[in-house]
Amino acid sequence: MSRKIGFIGTGNMGQAMIKGIISSKIVSSENILVSDKDTAKLQDVSNKFNIKGETSNVDLAKNVDILILSVKPNIYKILIDEIKDVIKEETIIITLAPNLSLEDLGKMFNKELKIVRSMPNTPAFVGEGMSAIVPNSNITKEDLDYVFEIFNSFGKVEVVNENIMSTVVATSGSSPAYVFILIEAMADAAVAGGMSRDSAYKFAAQSVLGSAKMVLETNLHPGILKDMVCSPGGTTIDAVKELEKCGFRNSIIQAMEVCKNKAKNM
């Protein structure tokens, strides 16, 4: 018997997850439900994925086996107060709020439930997300296997220690923005060098994609891969020297420190 998966909230991340789940056929679209107070947005998402929409969070929460809270962190308390009394003991609750610990969530629900804290990222839109999850002690191995199946449907996933969740935010949650800035800067330089804008974005983005794939598939240290491109006396080593002179590496490290500290103190 297929499990029913419910999403409260129709935001971008929730939609990316829905797309992955349907594409991988974990469950059929008829076993995915979504609720949102914004009826126009709810109708749009329901039609887009051919799934059932609910205007009542309570009705959805009491009728699903996996409940994914895809809303802004600042309304979690209000939402949980609304639905906590109808959630079944065996329901697996997945949160997408990086600043709320398992302890925080347990206090909000005020009863023993199966909760998985998660941090996915926006490349989930193209099936290349990187997600971190932290299950509470009520999650069984079978539960965790199913949660892995859900997250693997739109990328990769790892269980992490809860105390590094703020580091996860800096490393994968926010980092697509850093990479987009890099691609944009590379493209601007290429345009300045005479390349068309469309070609510039394609050359830059594909180079980033291919480089990331080399790190993941060769298991070589990034420094070794960098050295392989830097021929003695060549163009690349001069470019690397300029990056170091401009503080490229340090700027990334400092940006991630700021991001991590902000996430920790939210």
Q: Over 90: is that where the pLDDT of 265 sits?
A: no
CATH topology of domain 5-165: Rossmann fold (3.40.50)
* The domains spanning 5-165 and 173-265 adopt the same CATH topology: no
Q: In what order do the strands lie in the sheet with 66-69?
A: 52-54, 32-35, 5-8, 66-69, 92-95, 114-119, 129-135, 155-159
Q: Selecting from 1.10.3720.10, 1.20.1340.10, 1.10.3730.10, 3.30.56.10, what CATH number does the domain 173-265 have?
A: 1.10.3730.10
The structural domains of the chain, with segments of one domain joined by +, span 5-165, 173-265
| Triad 131, 14, 92: Cα angle to 5° | 70
- pLDDT tens digits, residue range 85-126? 999 999 999 999 888 999 999 999 999 999 999 999 999 989
- Smallest Cα–Cα separation from 118: which of 136, 102, 131? 131
37 band by pLDDT with thresholds 50, 70 and 90: confident
What pLDDT shows up at residue 5?
A: 96
